[in-house]
Structure 1
Amino acid sequence: MVEVHGHRGARGLRPENTLAGFEHALELGVDAVELDVGLSADGVVVLNHDQVLSSRNLADTAPAWPDDPSYPYVGRPVRELTVRQLRTLDAGGQRIPTFAETCALLAPAEVKLSVELKTDPTWTDEEIDLFTAAVADVLHTHALTARTSLLAFDWRVLTEARDHYPSLGRVALCEPKTLTDGTDWLAGRSPADPVAAAVAIDATAISPKHVITTQALVEDAHTAALPVIVWTVNTPEDMTRFIGYDVDAIVTDYPDRLQDVLAAV
């Protein structure tokens, strides 16, 4: 059976990457909760999709303290702001949670965690190592290591996890922009064959964007014993097509919609 992965919780139904969104995803009975993390200026792992705070999902309310020169915060990188500053932002009527708060919510539930670390090739190896370690530490504290996978477009995160946190799953994200010639996203691997590249870094699954997920790619991955997690799929027609491709999991903003499709197959 295809697994249902709630994208950023249940992004089409509740504010993304929020505790309320995760609670709703749990109510819907998802198999996995997908979420995004960044690292604050004071070294706390926090939730947010973009490295730079976006008005698409966030709004400023007030400065964290009077005359804060960093205010307004929207438009600034997450890692240039402290948790106190980030807490002031309105995320669809919610607040940006810490990863620790999120893990405390999800730990009692029988659900997998798919944790995407938001980095890019401009990050140094040392910054990658520090961030990955901070995420792994929170997971260990909440006894969630065994049911968590780390996701990354920047595959250095995955090689760092392989070398130092091997009990964590390692999901190789890919999309057209990361598979161009001369790419810096794939930890030195060639983009010519993404499945072979994922196997070469010992990924435990490959997660391609829906527009590049073909029947042939799924078959190649399964031949290499690599599960396929396709993202982000929101229409019943596309859901049905990827189920027919025999993907292992579908990431969707609408877990309820996917469950209806699966029930009808």
Structure 2
Amino acid sequence: MSHGGPVELHGHRGARGLRPENTLPGFVHAMEIGVDAVELDVGLTADGVVVLNHDQVLSPVNVADTGPVQPGDPLYPYVGKAIRDLTLDQIKTLDAGVRRPVADDDPFVLTQLPLDSTPLPTLAEVCALMSRVPDVGLAVELKTDPDWPDSDVAFFAAAVAEVLGAFDLLGRSRLLAFDWRVLAEARRYAPDAGRVALIEAKTLGLGTPWLAGQPPDDPARAALDTGATVLSPERSITTPELVIAAHSLALPVVVWTVNEPADMSRFVSYGVDAIVTDYPDRLRTVLQGHGLPLPQPITEPILH
């Protein structure tokens, strides 16, 4: 039942299985392997700067304190605080280069190369990097919650669109969100960018606050009605039926996050349009085995 077309390779948080997540060296490594797009997560600092990090609250798993911005800073230590409560200067003190898992079975600590003293980048720093690389897309996930006021969601979406627009990258970018209010704001502030409706089991429950008022029983139709241009389901809810439903509405399907080769192969057979993975190297091997085209690796040095 595969549609027979190419399957895009998206590097999750860069290449989380291989390099520190949401960092410039991580994105460079993904592009050196060869990806169609890099996926990343953003938040907004207290002083209004768009910065990268997966969680809204800084986690000791992926960041560590190195010292306060100035002696006696009452907000120090910063790990455990919300990004929205910290300034860019405070965020920039953090070391995001070493994974410190809370559980012994963290798969990434076994395969991820530590890079001490790697900071969390701003979205502008990522855009400066990507502007030197032709053809690789950006998949930018905006981290909000349904309890955020609408005005905060709009402000955040506008801030992200402004950065992408300043680097002329809107046409190569997609804005992703579980909180589908972001998609409506993305259509308003970044009409040239794609809009990706993220879904997982917990956001599809009855009375869900995540889907901007849309009913959860037909996620593909709900995503289209919200203004999405792509449906992106978590792997455990990605079925052949869901792929068919989305394709019947001309919605591409991007499944996440798929790290096992057998699962990658299965989703290729389902006819998905893209696969998000922490291990771009593994997915390249699978795509090659299916006779599918591969994105070109970047061979020029791009990180100054």
Q: Which residue of 2 aligns with 1:165?
A: 190
CA distance in 2, matches of 1:215, 1:248: 12
Displacement of 1:166:
1.4
Q: TM-score, normalised by structure 1?
A: 0.99
- Listed as ranges, the matches of 1:71-90 within 5 Å are 71-90=76-95
Q: Which runs of 5+ in 2 are unaligned?
A: 1-5, 98-115, 291-304
Q: Which residue of 2 aligns with 1:106?
A: 130
1:24 and 2:24 aligned: no
Q: Which residue of 1 aligns with 2:225?
A: 200
CA distance in 2, matches of 1:163, 1:3: 27
> Is this contact kept in 1: 2:157–2:189, CA < 8 A?
no
Task: Give the alignment partner of residue 14 of structure 2, picking from 9, 16, 21.
Answer: 9
**Greater length-normalized contact order (CA 8 Å, ≥ 6 residues apart):** 2
Displacement of 1:165:
2.2
Farther-moved stretch of structure 1 (193-202 vs 13-22): 193-202
Q: Which residue of 2 aligns with 1:225?
A: 250
CA distance in 2, matches of 1:107, 1:218: 32
2:188 partner amino acid: D
1:56 and 2:80 aligned: no
Q: Which residue of 2 aligns with 1:41?
A: 46
CA distance in 2, matches of 1:171, 1:3: 15
Q: Which residue of 2 aligns with 1:248?
A: 273
Please list the CA deviations of residues 146-196 of structure 1 after superposition, one character each: whole Å capped at 9, or x if unmatched.
Answer: 110000000000011123321110000000111011111001101111111
> Is this contact kept in 1: 2:170–2:190, CA < 8 A?
no
Q: Which residue of 1 aligns with 2:113?
A: none
1:231 partner amino acid: W
1:193 partner amino acid: D
Which runs of structure 1 show a deviation greater than 3 angstroms over 4 or more consecutive aligned residues?
Answer: none
Identity of aligned residues (%): 64
1:108 partner amino acid: R
1:167 partner amino acid: D
Aligned residue pairs, count? 265
> Is this contact kept in 1: 2:44–2:83, CA < 8 A?
yes
RMSD value, Cα: 0.7
2:86 partner amino acid: L
1:210 and 2:225 aligned: no
Q: Which residue of 1 aligns with 2:282?
A: 257
Displacement of 1:218:
0.3
- Listed as ranges, the matches of 1:117-156 within 5 Å are 117-156=142-181
Displacement of 1:213:
0.1
Q: Which residue of 2 aligns with 1:97?
A: 121
Q: Which runs of 5+ in 1 are unaligned?
A: none
